[in-house]
Chains A and B, each alone.
Chain A
Amino acid sequence: MAYIRIRPIGGSGSLDPFRVPLPTYRQVADIGANGWIVEVRDEDVPEGAPAPINVNVPGVGILPVITNVPPGVLATWKAKLDERYPARNKTIDPTVV
């Protein structure tokens, strides 16, 4: 399990709720303009990502969070998720911030 900071999408209504474009996640915190911190399971953690940084999340505590993933790592991560969740590959498009 790892924490990742991701930019949410959606927000225009019940058919387009706020969310992050990942197949499996849990929102840990909404940190406003800085995105969401979400928890992803071990199998879905991006390989080769930079070491997590400590982020003090109000009401939650200090969490080690993966941020600012390089484009190459992001592309590899998306390809891995596409393979693991082929039925959802058109909706998997995370932006790590």
Chain B
Amino acid sequence: MRIVTSAAAGRPQYFDRNPVNRTQYNNASGAAPHAPTTRWTYTVPAGKKAFVDSLMTVVRRELVAAPAAIAEAYVTHTPSGGSAAIVAYSGVNSNTVGAQDKVNVAAVGAMLPGDAIAGLDTDLSTGGSATEIVSAKILEYDA
């Protein structure tokens, strides 16, 4: 027999507290060089928390640049009232067609109300093109 005395014993697990799956995704396929761009953001609403289940970033050189510079895809986490930090990053500084960097991150962690994550990409090359993908899977639930 299991005896529970904690006052919190009746509180469901986070994934049973009105959970909603949230996804964010962007595929800048064969994109021309561009300045840093926020393709998506997700902010935890008041009264909610969220668990970032997984992130994925991909960068792939598609057409030769002249010259190539860094092409990046990354996800940042900005805590409420704080500064952004990168939590997933892919970068390619090669001019070889097909050069690729891919990152998958699982069980990134919990987010509190007002915390935000964002998917960004950039390609600082001159000419050519690259594909940049930024993706996230998030479970939002009652705080």
What residues of chain A have their CB less than 8 Å away from a CB belonging to chain B?
Answer: 10-11, 13-14, 17-19, 22-27, 41, 43, 83-88
Contact = CB atoms under 8 A, between A and B. Distances in A.
A22 B43 CA distance: 9
Contacts of B120: 17
A89 to B, nearest CB: 10
Closest 5 CB pairs of A and B: A87-B114, A23-B43, A19-B38, A17-B36, A87-B80
Given A19-B38, A83-B46, A85-B45, 19 more contacts: A13-B35, A14-B36, A14-B122, A18-B36, A18-B38, A22-B41, A23-B43, A23-B116, A25-B40, A25-B41, A26-B24, A26-B40, A27-B38, A41-B22, A84-B45, A85-B43, A86-B46, A87-B46, A87-B81
B14 interface: no
A43 B40 contact: no
Contacts of B81: 87
A65 B5 CA distance: 54
- Does more than half of chain B's interface fall in helix, strand or loop, or is it mixed? strand
Given A26-B25, A85-B46, A18 B114 contact: no
Given A17-B37, A18-B35, A26 B26 contact: yes
A26 B39 contact: yes
- Does more than half of chain A's interface fall in helix, strand or loop, or is it mixed? mixed
B73 to A, nearest CB: 13
Interface string B28-48: 000000011111111101100
B113 interface: yes
Contacts of A10: 38
A24 B116 CA distance: 8
Nearest to A39: B40
8 contacts: A11-B35, A17-B37, A17-B120, A18-B36, A24-B42, A26-B25, A26-B39, A84-B45
Contact of B41 (A24, A43, A83): A24
- Of B24, B35, B41, most buried by chain A (CB within 10 Å of CB) is B41
Contacts of A84: 45-46
